[in-house]
Amino acid sequence: MTLTVIQALASHWRTHRLQLATLLIGLALATGLWSAVQAINAEARASYDRAADQLALGRFDGLHNPAGPIPLSRYVELRRAGWQVAAVLEGQLRVQGQTLRVLGVDMVAYPALPAVTQIEQSGTPPDPADMLTAPGRLLTTPVLKPLLAGQTGLPPILISDALPPDLILTDIGVAETLLKKPGEISHLIILPDQPGSIPPLSTIAPELERVPAQEQLDTAQLTDSFHLNLSAFGLLSFAVGLFIVHGTVGLAFAQRRGMIRTLRALGVSMRRLVWLIMAELSMLAIVGGILGLVLGFFLAGALLPDVAASLRGLYGVPVSGQISLQPQWALSGLAMALGGTFLASGHALYRLSRMPILSGAGLQAWRSAASGSWVVALAGVAAIAGGILTLLLFGGLVAGFVMVAGLLVGSALVLPYALSRVLILFQRSAKGPIAQWVWSDMRAQLPGLSLALMALLLALAANIGVGTMVSSFRLTFTGWLDQRLTSELYVTAATDQQGQDIADWLNPQVDAILPIRSVELAHSSGPLFLYGIIDDQTYREKWPLISSSERVWNRVHDGSAVLINEQLARRENLWPGDTLAITSADTLTIAGVYSDYGNPTGQAIVSMSQLDRIAPGAEARRFGIRVAPDRATDLAQALRNQFDLPRRAVVQQAAMKAQSMQVFEKTFVVTSALNILTLGVAGFAILTSLLTLWTQRLPQIAPIWALGLTRAELARLELLRSVLLAALTALLALPLGLALAWALLTIINVEAFGWRLPMYLFPIDWVYLLGLTLLAATVAAALPAARLLRLPPADLLKVFANER
Partner 1 sequence: MLLTFDRVQKSYPGGRPVLRDVSLSLDRGQTLALTGESGSGKSTMLNLAAALDIVDSGEITLDGVALSQLDDPGRAALRRTSLSLVFQQFNLIPSLTAGQNLSFHARLAGCHDPDWCAHLAQRLGLSDLLDRYPENLSGGQQQRVAIGRAMAARPKLLLADEPTGNLDETASATVLDLMLALVADTGAALLLVTHSHEIAARLDRRVHLAGGQIA
Ligand X SMILES: Nc1ncnc2c1ncn2[C@@H]1O[C@H](COP(=O)(O)OP(=O)(O)OP(=O)(O)O)[C@@H](O)[C@H]1O
Name the residues that contact partner 1, by CB under 8 A. 432-434, 436-437, 440-441, 443-444, 699-700, 702-713, 792-794, 796-797, 799-802, 804
CA distance 156 to 168: 12
Long-range contacts of 611-616 (CB under 8 A, 24+ apart): 611/517, 611/518, 611/519, 611/530, 611/531, 611/532, 612/532, 613/586, 614/530, 614/582, 614/583, 614/586, 615/519, 615/521, 615/530
Q: Which does 443 bind (CB under 5 to 8 A by kind): ligand X, Mg ion, partner 1, none?
A: partner 1
Cα 397-400-402 angle, rounded to 5 deg:
115
Q: State which residue, 204 or 799, has the beta carbon closest to Mg ion.
A: 799
Q: Contact region for Mg ion (CB under 5 A) — 7-15, 16-24, 466-474, 795-803? A: 795-803
Q: Which does 709 bind (CB under 5 to 8 A by kind): partner 1, Mg ion, ligand X, none?
A: partner 1
Instruction: Provide, rounded to whole angstroms, the least separation between the CB of residue 797 and Mg ion.
Output: 10
Q: State which residue, 1 or 794, has the beta carbon closest to ligand X.
A: 794
Q: State which residue, 84 or 440, has the beta carbon closest to partner 1.
A: 440
Q: State which residue, 608 or 702, has the beta carbon closest to ligand X.
A: 702
Reference 444, options 699, 659, 642; nearest CA is 699
Terminal C-alpha separation, the chain? 36
From residue 743 to residue 782, the character string flagging contacts with Mg ion as x (rule: CB under 5 A) and all else as - is: ----------------------------------------
Q: Which does 428 bind (CB under 5 to 8 A by kind): Mg ion, ligand X, partner 1, none?
A: none
Count of residues in contact with ligand X, rule CB under 6 A: 5
Q: State which residue, 192 or 793, has the beta carbon closest to ligand X.
A: 793
Q: State which residue, 8 or 698, has the beta carbon closest to ligand X.
A: 698
| Subset of 763-802 contacting ligand X (CB under 6 A) | 794, 797-798, 801-802
From residue 129 to residue 148, the character string flagging contacts with ligand X as x (rule: CB under 6 A) and all else as - is: --------------------
SS3 39: helix
What contacts 56, CB < 8 A, 6 or more positions away?
110, 189
Instruction: Provide, rounded to whole angstroms, the least separation between the CB of residue 802 and ligand X.
Output: 4
Instruction: Provide, rounded to whole angstroms, the least separation between the CB of residue 801 and ligand X.
Output: 6
CA distance 655 to 650: 12
Q: Which does 135 bind (CB under 5 to 8 A by kind): partner 1, Mg ion, ligand X, none?
A: none
Q: Which does 798 bind (CB under 5 to 8 A by kind): partner 1, ligand X, Mg ion, none?
A: ligand X
| 706 binds ligand X, rule: CB under 6 A | no
CA distance 293 to 768: 30
From residue 217, how far is each of 47, 145, 306, 310, 625 by CA, in Å?
17, 32, 20, 14, 19
Q: State which residue, 203 or 802, has the beta carbon closest to Mg ion.
A: 802
Q: Which residues pair with 62 in a beta bridge?
A: 189, 211
Q: Which residue is nearest to ligand X (CB)?
A: 794
Q: Contact region for Mg ion (CB under 5 A) — 6-14, 304-312, 540-548, 796-804? A: 796-804
From residue 476, how far is each of 355, 470, 685, 756 by CA, in Å?
56, 10, 35, 10
What contacts 543, CB < 8 A, 6 or more positions away?
483, 563, 594
Residue type, 91: G
Phi, psi of 564 (to 5 degrees): -130, 160
Instruction: Provide, rounded to whole angstroms, the least separation between the CB of residue 795 and ligand X.
Output: 7
Q: Are strands 98-105 and 157-159 parallel, antiparallel or unpaired?
A: unpaired
User: How is residue 96 annotated by DSSP?
Assistant: T
Q: State which residue, 420 or 487, has the beta carbon closest to partner 1.
A: 420
Instruction: Provide, rounded to whole angstroms, the least separation between the CB of residue 698 and ligand X.
Output: 12
Q: State which residue, 196 or 792, has the beta carbon closest to partner 1.
A: 792
Instruction: Provide, rounded to whole angstroms, the least separation between the CB of residue 800 and Mg ion.
Output: 8
- What is the CB neighbour count within 10 angstroms for residue 163? 25
Residue type, 233: F
Which residues lie near ligand X (CB under 6 A)?
Answer: 794, 797-798, 801-802
Instruction: List contacts with Mg ion (CB under 5 A).
Output: 802
